[in-house]
Amino acid sequence: MKVHAIQTGFVRIKTAQVEGRGHGLSRRIAIFTDSNWTDWLPTYAWVIDCSDGIFVVDTGQGAHLLESGKSLHPYVRWEVAFRIEPEQEVGPQLRALGVGPRDVKRVILTHLHMDHDGGLAHFPDTEILVAPGELEIARGLAGRMRGYLPHRWPAWFDPVPLHLEAEQFGPFAQSRRLTAAGDVVAVATPGHTAHHISIVAQDGDTAYFLAGDTSYDERLMLAGKLDGVSADEQVCTATLDAIRRFTQSRPTVYLPTHDPQAAERLAKRQLAGAAS
C-alpha cells in the first residue's frame, strides 16, 4: 500500500473557525466577528494505492472556488478565500503521477464541503461514495443555504450511498470495510458535519488516518479542541476523543485535510503525538 498527498491549492479561513470560541450559537457567530485570518492552509486530496486498486479520498478544490467572493452566501462570500490554479486540481495532478481518470477505482468523500468536492468533475467514470446523510444535507436549495455548493456538482453526480454499519472498529461505533482485505475502512467521525466520515488505511503496522476536517491540525485533535463550525459540541468532543484513543492504540499517522504538517508527516511516517 502507498498513500500520496495531492495539494489542491490553498485556503484561508478565520482563526475562530479553526479553534472554536465560546459555546452554542456564539461559537458560530465568532467566525463572522473574528477579524483574524489564518495563514494560507493547504487543501489535500489523498490517493490510496491498495490491493483493490487506486482510491481517491476527497477531491480537493476546483478553480471555480476563486469566484467564492461573489457568492450571495455570507460565509462563502466573506469568511473563506481560496488560491488554486487549474493545473493544481486533482485531475491534472493525478495524470502527472501517471494515474488516468479511468485508473481510479473509487472516490470517497469525507463530506461535501466545497474544498472536498471541488474536483468531482475529474471523475465522470468512477464510483463515488458519499454518506447518505451528508448528501441529504448538502443537496438542493437547503444545501446552498447551509453553504454547500450543490449547483457546482457535475450534472452526472449521483454517488453510491456509503452506509456505515453498526460494526465497532477500535473506538468507532460505526464502520465499513472498503476492500476485500479490510485494510481500508470508513469510520463515522461526526462533528464538523453530522455525517462526516474518515478513512483508515492500514499499511502493515501503520494506520494512515485520513481525517477530513475532524480537526484542522493534529495539535487540536490531541488537545480535544473543537472547531468553530461543529453543530453539536458533545458529538464533536466524542469524535476527537475516539480519534485520540485510536492513535494511542496503534501507530497512526494523522492526516487532516488542512494541516500544514500533514504531507511532511506522511512522507516521514511520523506518528500522532511524536512532535509533542
User: Where does this chain bind Zn ion (CB under 5 A)?
Assistant: 113, 213
CB of 13 to Zn ion, least distance (A): 10
Q: What is the Cα–Cα distance from 163 to 165, expressed in whole angstroms?
A: 6
Q: What is the Cα–Cα distance from 158 to 249, expressed in whole angstroms?
A: 37
Q: What is the Cα–Cα distance from 58 to 56, expressed in whole angstroms?
A: 6
CB of 269 to Zn ion, least distance (A): 26
Q: Closer to Zn ion by CB, 113 or 122: give it.
A: 113
Write down how long the chain is: 276
Q: Closer to Zn ion by CB, 50 or 56: give it.
A: 56
φ/ψ region of 269 (left if φ > 0, alpha if ψ in -120 to 50, else beta) reads left
CB of 197 to Zn ion, least distance (A): 12
CB of 274 to Zn ion, least distance (A): 26
Q: What is the Cα–Cα distance from 190 to 237, expressed in whole angstroms?
A: 10
Q: Closer to Zn ion by CB, 61 or 179: give it.
A: 61
Q: In terms of Cα–Cα distance, which of 35, 37, 33 is closest to 18?
A: 37
Q: Closer to Zn ion by CB, 58 or 183: give it.
A: 58
Q: Closer to Zn ion by CB, 183 or 213: give it.
A: 213
Element (H, E) at 158: none
CB of 250 to Zn ion, least distance (A): 26
CB of 114 to Zn ion, least distance (A): 8
Q: Closer to Zn ion by CB, 213 or 217: give it.
A: 213
Q: How many CB atoms within 10 Å of residue 258?
A: 21
Q: What is the Cα–Cα distance from 41 to 259, expressed in whole angstroms?
A: 7
CB 51 within 8 A of CB 250: no
Q: Closer to Zn ion by CB, 134 or 213: give it.
A: 213
Q: Closer to Zn ion by CB, 113 or 144: give it.
A: 113
CB 79 within 8 A of CB 17: yes
CA-based Rg of the chain, rounded to a whole angstrom? 17
The three cell numbers locating residue 127? 464510483
CB of 1 to Zn ion, least distance (A): 26
Nearest-CB residue to Zn ion?
113
**Dmax (CA) of the chain:** 49
CB of 145 to Zn ion, least distance (A): 16
Edge-to-edge order in the sheet of strand 175-177? 175-177, 184-188, 197-203, 206-212, 252-256
